[in-house]
Structure formats: C-alpha cells, structure tokens
Structure 1
Amino acid sequence: MSKQKTQPSMIGRMLRHLAGTHAVARRAFPSATLKAIQAGIGEGEKQHRAQVRMIVETSLSLGAVWRGESSRQRAHELFSRYRIWDTEENCGVLVYVNLADHKVEIVADRGVSRVVTRQQWQDVCRAMTAGYAHGAYHESTLQALEQLHVLLAGAMPRDSGDTAGANELSDKPLIL
C-alpha cells in the first residue's frame, strides 16, 4: 500500500523538478524583485547583527529527487557550500526557496539558533509560502524578510554605537 502512494508522489515530484527552468525562476523573481530583496536585506541588517543570505533554487537534479533529498537537506548543503556559517558571530541565516517543491527553509548558524526558536522560523516560512501559493512572490518575500528582520532585531540587536557593522555575506539573492 505504501509503495502505491510513494510511486505517484515520486513521479509527481520528478515531473515538477523537470519542469523547473530558469524561466520559471525569472517569472517568480524578476530583476525588480531581486533588487528589492537585496535592498530589503541590506536595510534589515542595519537593525541586527545577523547576516542574511537568500538562495532561490528552481529545481533539484533528478538524482537528488531520486535519492529523496529534501528541501531541508538541500538548504543545509547550500548553507555549507556558500559558507553562510563563516561569520564573526556565527550569525549567518540562509533563507532557501525551492520553487519545484514549493518549500521555504531557514537555516541559521548556532549564534542565531540559540536565540530564535524553530517555531519563529516556521512562522516566517509560512508567511512566504502562503503568498507564493497565490503567485505573490514579490510582496510575500519582502513581507517575510521584514518579519525576519524584526525577529532578528529583537534577538540580536545591533549595539547602539555600531552604526555600520560588517556586511560579511552578500545581500544579493542568488538564483540557482
């Protein structure tokens, strides 16, 4: 019985990932949206000590889908590959969007994980995916990033004397 449920869902997932092209990502995240996200990350980081990086991935390789790699596993892989963990205060935060799986994952380094709960991250992810379900990628992303920055400002406020802070990770969203 479980194989009957597994096979169609695996086939469906494979088809979604096969259909995932860069054109899909560009429709969801056109240049103006990417620029607004970059500005939003830059402005938001002025409120807290965390370093935020956003990666949007259209689809996984068929091999990864066949192996059953989850969006969460992929987010952890990218967190490592792009050295988001490599910040002075261990305060890197990855916002990972997988368009084919309709998933948003947040992976935070240990400096941030100590002060932000899993439930708080899930609230930010739900804000994004709820809007994405209606095609509102621009608005949902910016609203969720604002929510994320408020959360981080409460957990890791910038010191009053620190007006600039080091920007250790690129604010520019990455499309894979």
Structure 2
Amino acid sequence: MTSQATSFFGRCKRAWRHMASGTGAGKRAFPPATLQAIEQAITLGEQRHRAEVRLIVEPGLDARSAFNNLGNRQRARALFAQYGVWDTEENCGVLIYINLAAREVDIVADRHVGRLVADTEWQVICRTMTTGFAQGDFHAPTLSALEQLNTLLARHYPADGSRPNQLPNDAVIL
C-alpha cells in the first residue's frame, strides 16, 4: 500500500468520523444545564475583564472540509470572523472553539488581547478541556477552563469600569 493510498484512506476515515458526529453529539455533550452554566461563567467573567468571550461547539466538520484536512485552527479563525468576534471596540474578542469529533480546542484572540497573553497560557486552558473531554466529561472541564480564562484575562486585561456587552454570552452549538 502506498503512502498516497494510506493518506486517502486516512482522509476518508477522518471525514466519516466528522460526519458521524452530528448535532445530537453536541446536545449530549453540552445539555441545557451546561449551556446555562457556560453563559453564566462568561457573563461573570466579563465583569472582571474588558475582553469579550465567545464559545462555539461544532460536533464535526462537513465531509468536504474533513476530507480536505481543514485544520482546527483554520476553522476556529473562520468562525472568529463569521461570528464577528473581531468586531469589538477595543479589539478584545476571544473565541474558544471546540471540535467534538476531533476532541480539539483552539482559542483565537483578537490583536489587542492576543499581544498580552502568551501562547503557552492559552494552551493550558485548551489542555484543561481536552483532558476532560478525553474522559467523556464536558461540563466540569469547560467551566474550569472558563474560570482559568477569566482569571488570565482579568490579570492581563482588567476591567476599568462599566462597559456595554458587545457579544452574546451564550454558547453556540453548530
């Protein structure tokens, strides 16, 4: 078997895994009580810092994207743009993107916040989630990661008075 054939079959397997992870997987991993807790954690966190946080869960990529090896980071950046996370007054949007089929998490931060936080700090937050997700737990690791994120943002980008909420605080399940 050639490496080209292995690559083709590997891509087919990846596409199948993403196609098999439908909306039901997102609802099972993130039931209403978890979604409500996420929204509350984002709301309370944004009182401590000036950043705007958005969390998006995608059960799986479409077959074409998965087959063509669209990376998690690429997809996160596309959603960052699509959902207007970049469109905040202080360029302070932060997106947490969760891909359930791949069990991967990426954080994309707008330029103002991104300059203040080291990549290693974002990676610790992502690892909190992926470690819990590997054990089948989505609720506690997500809330723990949001607390870590809010603490990190409060340290690097603290609140300086009241400000309008510029992005919705509810989690999005695609």
Q: TM-score range by the shorter chain?
A: over 0.9
Q: Which residue does the alignment assign to 2:46?
A: 45
Aligned equivalents of 1:6, 1:126: Cα separation in 2: 28
Q: 1:126 corresponds to which letter in structure 2?
A: R
Q: Which residue does the alignment assign to 2:163?
A: 165
Aligned equivalents of 1:142, 1:128: Cα separation in 2: 9
Secondary structure at the aligned position of 1:135 is classed as coil
Q: 1:175 corresponds to which letter in structure 2?
A: I
Q: Which residue does the alignment assign to 2:117?
A: 116
Runs of 4+ in 1 over 6 A off after TM superposition: none
Is 1:33 the equivalent of 2:34? yes
Aligned equivalents of 2:147, 2:5: Cα separation in 1: 42
Q: Which residue does the alignment assign to 1:136?
A: 137
Count of paired positions? 173
Q: 2:21 corresponds to which letter in structure 1?
A: G
Is 1:60 the equivalent of 2:61? yes
Secondary structure at the aligned position of 2:69 is classed as coil
Deviation, 1:115, is: 0.2
Could you give the per-residue CA deviations for residues 77-130 of structure 1, whole angstroms, max 9, x where no partner exists? 000011100001000000000001111000000000110011111110000000
Could you say what the CA RMSD is over the residues aligned between the two structures, in angstroms? 1.1
Q: Which range moved further: 12-21 or 150-159?
A: 12-21
Aligned equivalents of 1:5, 1:122: Cα separation in 2: 30
Residues 12 and 67, structure 2, Cα contact 8 Å, conserved in 1: no
Aligned equivalents of 2:103, 2:124: Cα separation in 1: 16
Aligned equivalents of 1:6, 1:117: Cα separation in 2: 34
Name structure 2 gaps, 5 residues minimum: none
TM-score in terms of structure 1 length = 0.95
Deviation, 1:6, is: 2.1
